[in-house]
Amino acid sequence: MTKKSELRPQRRDVLKSMLLAVPALAVPSLAQAAGLTMADIKKSGVLRVAMALNPPMVLQNINGGWHGFNPDLVRLLAKSWGVKVHFVSTTWDVIVPGLLAHKYDMIGASISATALRKKVINFSDPYFMAGQVFVVNKNNPKHLTSIAALNKPSVTVAYTQSSIEGEVVHKLLPKAKNRALTSSSVGDMIAEIESRRSDAFAITSVLREPILAKFPWAATVPASDTGVNPTAVAWGIRKEDTDLLDAVNVFLAKAIKDGTVAAMLKRDITPANSGLG
């Protein structure tokens, strides 16, 4: 189980640096330009999959082993193909350039299918949707029950610096006071509200239910599991690897239809897996 102190911010937005890195890294050979096929993977017997820490969807134990929703679903994928999985540890700031540089065959972490990322890689069919929510104390005297109520100079909103949540705050709450935190955990954000340093904080909607389950005082704006700015969450695959993309989508369609994905999401999106104890 990942220690609380080891948790990192969710889904850090570093796409500008990612795109700058692409020309230097994405220089495929003639063999690579043809695209990776299922026949190639089955011949090698190994599927190389990028994984980056992303509680509660992707967790890492003290020995470096991966577990949680995404690693387990990837293992089911590989098992259905009769191959082994080799997880390649990486970070969110280089996960896309690493795929383009052929350091792994696909991105198996929960990566948002944003318009900017779609310019350089393909995405599988989504297995769920996630956006951002603003967590508030339901007893806050400022009556923070709507985006309009949050968008006032008297309201302080916290977020993780250089994150997609920060972009949403600037876009939707231009009148509010911004409080950008460096390398903040979920616990740090909770402390912002409990200490009254901030009136609200922005975070991925994936954590909405775990936060509400753990903290009776908490409420979210909006009161929705997909939040604002909902984006498809999927797996990432190089554009030339169309055969691999088709095979992944066949697997996901079955796993969604038979209830496997829903059961795993219910199992793994918990306060404990989210660093909330």
Length of the chain: 277
Residue span of the structural domain in which 168 resides:
131-228
User: Rounded to whole angstroms, what are the CA distances from 28 to 18, 35, 101, 173?
Assistant: 17, 10, 7, 43
pLDDT digits 0-9 by tens, 253-274 = 999 999 999 999 999 999 999 8
Q: Are residues 33 and 63 in the same domain?
A: yes
Q: Are residues 22 and 156 in the same domain?
A: no
Q: Are residues 8 and 113 in the same domain?
A: yes
pTM as predicted: 0.78
Rg for the chain (alpha carbons), in Å? 19
pLDDT digits 0-9 by tens, 155-188 = 999 998 878 888 899 999 999 999 999 877 888 9
**pLDDT over 80 (residue 217):** yes
- Domain contains 41: yes
Confidence band, pLDDT 50/70/90 cuts, at residue 275: confident
* CATH code of residue 214: 3.40.190.10
Non-local (6+) Cβ contacts of 31 within 8 A are none
Q: Are residues 217 and 92 in the same domain?
A: no
